[in-house]
Structure 1
C-alpha cells in the first residue's frame, strides 16, 4: 500500500509539474511542449479546441498503441498522468501569474519544469502520453534513455507545426525539447529509491 501511495503521489506530482511548465510558460507563446503538444497546438489553432482538452485527446489516442505492449496497468497510470497534466494546463493557463512576460525566460523555465515532470513520470514507468509512449517503447526495446528518441520524434512534428503556424516556432520548440529532454535524462539517471526504475518491460 505504501508503495502504491508513493507511486500515485509521484505520478500526480509529475503530471502537475509538467502541466505547470506547459500551461504557464510554453503554451501562452504557442511553443509546442512535444509531439503531442504540437498536435494539440494545431488543434487549438485550427479548430479552437481548448489546449487541455486537445492535449488529452491526442495523448489518449497515442496511448491506445501501448495497451498491447505495456499492458493495462501502464495504460491506467498513464491515463491518470495525462488527465492531471491536462487539468493543470487549463488551470495554470487561466491564472494571470505573470504580468510582464519574457519569451526567453518563459522558454527556459517552461522547458525545465516540463522535463522535470516528464522525467518523474518516466522513472515510475509511466508515460506522459503522446510521443512519450513511442519513446518508452524504443527505450524499452533498446535499453537506452528515453530522451534521444523523444527528441527525434518530436522534432518531426515540430517541423509540421511550424510550417502551418509560424516557422519561428520550430526553433523555439527545438530549444525547448533540447532542454526538457536533458532534464528527462537527468531525472532518469538520479538514484533515489529502489522504487525508481528504468527497467521498463513488456507485459507477460
Structure 2
C-alpha cells in the first residue's frame, strides 16, 4: 500500500511538472511540447478548444492505442498522468501570466520542466500520453532509452503542424524537443532506488 501511494504521488508530481512547463512557458509562445502538444495546438487553431481539454483529448485517444499491448494497469496510471498534466496546463494558463517574457528563456525553462516531468513518469513505468505511448512501447520492446524514439515521432508531427500553422515554429519545437528528451534520458539514467522504478539500459 505504501508503494502504491508513493507511485501515485510521483505520477501526480510528474504530470504537474510537465503541465507547468507547457502551460506557463511553452504554450504561451506557441511552442509544441511534443507530438500531442502539436496536435493539440492544431485543434486549438482549427476549433478554438482551449489547450488543456485539447491536450487531454489527444492524449486519451493515443492511450487507447496502447491498452491492448501495454495492459490496463499501464493505461490507468497513464490516464492519471495525462489528466494531471491537462489540469496543470489549464491551471497555469488560466491563473498565471508572466509579464516580461523572452521566447528563448521560456523555451529552455519550459523544456527542462517538460523533460523532468516526463522522465519522472517514465521511471514509474507510466507514459506521458500522446506519442509518448508509442515511444514507450518502442523503448520497452527494444530495451533502449525512450528519448530518441520520442524525439523522432514528435519531429514528424512538428513538420505537419508547422506546414499548417507556421514554419517559424519548427526550429523552436525541435530545439525544445532536444532539450526535453535529453532531460528524459537523464532522469531515466539516475540511480535512485525507488519502488516500481524502471531500469533503462541500452543493449550492449
How far apart are 1:198 and its partner, in Å? Answer: 3.5
- Structure 1 counterpart of 2:55: 55
Task: State whether structure 2 residue 85 is matched by structure 1 residue 85.
Answer: yes
How far apart are 1:70 and its partner, in Å? Answer: 1.0
Matches of 2:29 and 2:36, distance apart in 1 = 16
- Structure 2 counterpart of 1:202: none
- Structure 2 counterpart of 1:133: 133
Misfit runs of 4+, over 6 Å: none
- Structure 1 counterpart of 2:106: 106
Task: State whether structure 2 residue 45 is matched by structure 1 residue 45.
Answer: yes
Unaligned runs of 5+ in 2: none
> What TM-score results when the alignment is normalised by the length of structure 1?
0.96
Q: Contact between 1:125 and 1:198, CA under 8 Å: does it hold in 2?
A: no
- Structure 2 counterpart of 1:124: 124
Task: State whether structure 2 residue 96 is matched by structure 1 residue 96.
Answer: yes
Deviations 1:18-74 (A, max 9, x none): 000000000001100000000000000110011000000000000011111111010
Matches of 2:187 and 2:91, distance apart in 1 = 25
Change (3 A) 1:8 1:184: same
Aligned-residue CA RMSD (Å): 0.8
Matches of 1:69 and 1:127, distance apart in 2 = 13
The secondary structure found in structure 1 opposite 2:139 is helix
- Structure 1 counterpart of 2:21: 21
Unaligned runs of 5+ in 1: 200-204
Matches of 2:16 and 2:119, distance apart in 1 = 12
- Structure 2 counterpart of 1:197: 198
Moved more, 23-32 or 88-97: 88-97
Matches of 2:38 and 2:199, distance apart in 1 = 26
The secondary structure found in structure 1 opposite 2:100 is coil
Matches of 1:125 and 1:109, distance apart in 2 = 25
> What TM-score results when the alignment is normalised by the length of structure 2?
0.96
Deviations 1:139-161 (A, max 9, x none): 01110000000000000000000
